[in-house]
Amino acid sequence: MGYRTLLRDHRGLLGISFLAMFTSSLGQSFFIGLFQVPISQQLELTAGQFGTAYALVTLVAGFAMLRLGPSIDWVSPRRFAVIVLVTLASGVLLLTLSPWWGLGVLGLGLVRLCGQGMMTHLGNTLAGREFTTLRGRALGLVGMGMMLGETLLPPLMAALLVFLGWRELWWLFALVLAGLWVPLLLRGPWPKAPGQRPVAGQPSRGPRPFRDPTFWKLLPLLMTLPVTMTGIFIYQAVMTHELGSSLGVYALALAGMGLAKLPGALLGGRWVDRLGPVRLARLYLLPFAVALLIAIIFGGHLGVWALMVGGGLAIGSQESIATSLLVRIWGAEHLGTVRATLSACMVFATGLAPAVLGFALDLGADFTSILAGMLAFLVGGWWLAQGVLASQATRAV
């Protein structure tokens, strides 16, 4: 059974998950960054104050994910989606209409939590939980919803800003999303919740990732791409200068990265179904490791292109591999709990990574040394996870 069969037989559920991933664009950094200047002016914040507020609401959203994300294991997915969408709409209204900066920042936090956080959580959890033999392919297709947002929205928003103000543009996008969601909420093939809400006062029977050594051994491997690519995105100007390239080349390579995510997602999903997530977890970072080596040794335009394309291939395949691996270890019925914990850790790490790299740059480190540190982090995370992956491979046999 291939992608054509999957789309023919399960297009309703795939459509829900795909739309959830596309809707998450509303809270992603690439989308909010397009409107940083007018939002700062609306809230009467300087660029530095906006950056501080953005980091704080992102960290708070990470803590909220730990608390709220596991509820998808016992709350009906349709109800979960309604709550998240209503809260997301409330955040958009607060952000675009509030005359007071405090309420505006609260709206920004709700957009970050429900957009990047809970919508991504909904899409990946549904696809990872409801599909079994075709899980990898389903996750690969669903992940393309986010890729569509990253590719389509920046040029589209830039073009529409010529005719509309930023508030009207946000409202228009929210209305378009509402028009897509309403039919699915009314007639979509929504699955039931896999479990019941834990009873207060009784010990939980579900996994507790923070108390499980397996989770901590896998965490560096799964966080390698989010942490390192965040550093590369934030310090792109420093990177291109010190590698002997230019921001123009970086912009073209960034488009190449978007294109590279597509085969990464489709091939990664197919290989997860054929080879299993354990075997793929040992290999999927190889393109990025090779890219880091090329950038360290050769630098220049080649190094920038290698980082973007190698990163794109690995990023495209990560979600299908990571989610399938979580299901293999902790079971589909607890996927919401484990994914929420992993998502929160990634939020914290990506929030701290720019500060750590900025401190290293302030101390005089060159970007080639930072790339070498990223490669060392990748190798260390890969090595730490080998014991867990070996035990899972043995159990599968």
Cβ of 363: how many Cβ atoms within 10 Å? 7
pLDDT score of 178 more than 60: yes
User: Tokens 């420093």 correspond to what residue?
Assistant: 238
Read off the amino acid at residue 362: D
Q: Look up residue 185 and give its two tokens.
A: 């909420």
Residue with tokens 């349709």: 78
Q: Tell me the residue type at 120.
A: T
Task: Single out the residue of 317, 316, 340, 325 nearest to residue 118, CA to CA.
Answer: 340
290: which residues sit within 8 A by CB, 6+ positions away? 306, 310
Is residue 140 within 8 Å of residue 266, measured between CB atoms? yes
Structural fold of domain 207-397: Growth Hormone; Chain: A; (1.20.1250)
Give me the pLDDT at residue 298, please: 92
Q: Which two tokens stand for residue 12?
A: 């309703």
Q: Of the ranges 23-32, 67-76, 132-141, 196-205, which one carries the lowest mean pLDDT score?
A: 196-205
Least confident residue range of 142-151, 200-209, 273-282: 200-209
| Four-CA torsion 255, 350, 217, 389, nearest 10 degrees | -20
Q: Give yes or no for residue 354 having a pLDDT over 80.
A: no
pLDDT at res. 214: 92
Domain ranges in the chain with CATH number 1.20.1250.20: 1-197, 207-397
Q: Where are the alpha helices (DSSP H) in the chain?
A: 3-23, 29-33, 36-43, 47-68, 77-97, 101-111, 120-130, 135-160, 166-187, 213-234, 236-243, 247-275, 277-281, 286-297, 300-330, 335-362, 367-396
Q: Which residue carries 């589209």 as its tokens?
A: 156
Superfamily of chain region 1-197: MFS general substrate transporter like domains (1.20.1250.20)
The overall average pLDDT reported for the chain is: 86
Region 145-150 average pLDDT: 86
247 CB-contact burial (10 Å; exposed 0-12 / middle 13-18 / buried 19+): middle
243/236 Cα distance (integer angstroms): 10
**Bigger pLDDT: 168 or 359?**
168
pTM for the predicted model, two decimal places: 0.82
pLDDT digits (tens, 9 = 90+) for 200-229: 555 556 678 888 899 999 999 999 998 888
**Whether the Cβ atoms of residue 264 and residue 315 lie closer than 8 Å to each other:** yes
At 200, phi and psi to the nearest 5? Answer: -60, 135
**Residue 311 contacts by C-beta under 8 Å, 6 or more apart in sequence?**
225, 228, 229, 232, 257, 260, 287, 288, 291
By mean pLDDT, which of 65-69, 201-205, 244-248, 378-382 is the weakest?
201-205
* pLDDT exceeds 60 at position 172: yes
- Residue 63 has a pLDDT of 87
pLDDT digits (tens, 9 = 90+) for 51-104: 778 878 888 888 898 888 888 888 889 999 999 999 999 999 999 998 788 898
Query: Is residue 397 over pLDDT 50?
Result: no
Model confidence pLDDT, tens digit, residues 288-334: 999 999 999 998 999 999 999 999 999 989 888 998 899 888 887 78
Question: 8 or 289, which is more confident?
Answer: 289
Instruction: Spell out the residues 6+ positions from residue 66 whose beta carbon is closer than 8 angstroms to its own.
Output: 340, 341, 344
Helix (H, G, I), strand (E, B) or coil at 134: coil
Residue 146 has pLDDT above 80, yes or no: yes
| b (16+ CB within 10 A) / e for 198-233 | eeeeeeeebbebeeeebbebbbbbbbbbbbbbbbbb
